[in-house]
Homo-oligomer: A and B are copies of this chain.
Amino acid sequence: MTPNKEDYLKMIFELNGTYKKVSNKEIVSGLKVSAASVSEMMTKLVKGGYITYTPYQGVQLTETGIAEASILIRKHRLWEVFLVEKLGYSWSEVHEEAELLEHVTSSTLSERLDAFLGFPEKCPHGDMIPKGTVVVDETVTYPLSALEVGQKACLYKVMDEKELLDYLIELDMHIGESFTLLSIGSYEGPIKIQKENCEIVHISQKAAQHLFVERLA
């Protein structure tokens, strides 16, 4: 897919480069490029003032870097809302399309799109849509796998990964849906939850690690 500077910045952002150092290794697996390419790009991003770099330690976004990444993420998420709400895409299909659209979106276009969509707060996966270049505080969430039995929670966001999204559609689970954790299987067995309509759903441990929930009273 040939990521460019913008993609690197976004990846660093997604790996929490806003508040901690991110290793080259993480970027390598995130973008599926060679370690050499990452190393080379980090040098360029330092020159551009987007990141600070401690060799062998990792990179962290500067203010400029955070702003750049936020703008891109904003565009990405606005397109996702558009694709789902206006064009009838399912939320598991939108990521790849948005990935391409984001890079050719002028600021004028993103502002008008935002207005057209009625200034949405969140993308279809439940992530906040940054306003301007300001990074929005995300709600405190936990992986579903970290909950205790009996805890009531609400599905808040989902890692943006096609297979996982398809799996959720199969399970008929949606963002914003509340449920109570019934039991956690041993030996990697599935987690059992009960939805508000009393339906019982079995979720693999692996998926549970990528589903983020808000604890409810």
Partner of A104, one of B86, B89, B104: B104
Give the contacting residue for A116; candidates B87, B103, B106; CB below 8 A: B87
Among B100, B103, B109, the residue within 8 A (CB) of A87 is B109
Neighbouring B residues of A116 by C-beta, 8 Å: 86-87
Contact B106 A97 (CB under 8 A): yes
Across the interface, do B112 and A104 meet the contact criterion of CB distance under 8 Å? Answer: no
Query: What interface size band does chain A fall in?
Result: 10 to 19
In chain B, what residue has the closest Cβ to A98?
B104
**Are B87 and A112 closer than 8 Å at their CB atoms?**
yes
The B-contacting residues of A in range 128-181, CB under 8 angstroms, are none
Partner of A100, one of B88, B97, B104, B112: B104
5 tightest CB-CB pairs across the interface, nearest first?
A100-B104, A87-B112, A87-B116, A104-B104, A101-B104
| Count of identical protomers in the assembly | 2
For A106, the closest partner residue in chain B by CB is: B97
Task: Tell me if A15 counts as interface (CB < 8 A to partner B).
Answer: no
Q: Would you call A113 an interface residue if the criterion is a C-beta within 8 Å of the partner chain's C-beta atoms?
A: yes
CB distance from A93 to the nearest CB of B (A): 8
- Give the CA-CA distance A108 to B94 in the complex, in Å: 11
How far, in whole Å, are A114 and B87 apart by their CA atoms in the complex?
9
The smallest C-beta distance from A80 to any residue of chain B, in angstroms, reads: 13
Q: A103-B104, A104-B103 are in contact. Are A109 and B97 (CB under 8 A)?
A: yes
Q: Which of B83, B89, B103, B112 contacts A88 (CB 8 A)?
A: B112
A89 with B112: CB separation less than 8 A: yes
CB-defined interface of A29-66 with B at 8 Å, one 1/0 digit per residue?
A: 00000000000000000000000000000000000000
In the assembled complex, the Cα of A103 lies from the Cα of B83 at a distance in Å of: 17
12 residue pairs from A and B, CB less than 8 Å apart: A83-B109, A87-B109, A87-B112, A87-B113, A87-B115, A87-B116, A88-B112, A89-B112, A97-B108, A100-B104, A101-B104, A103-B104
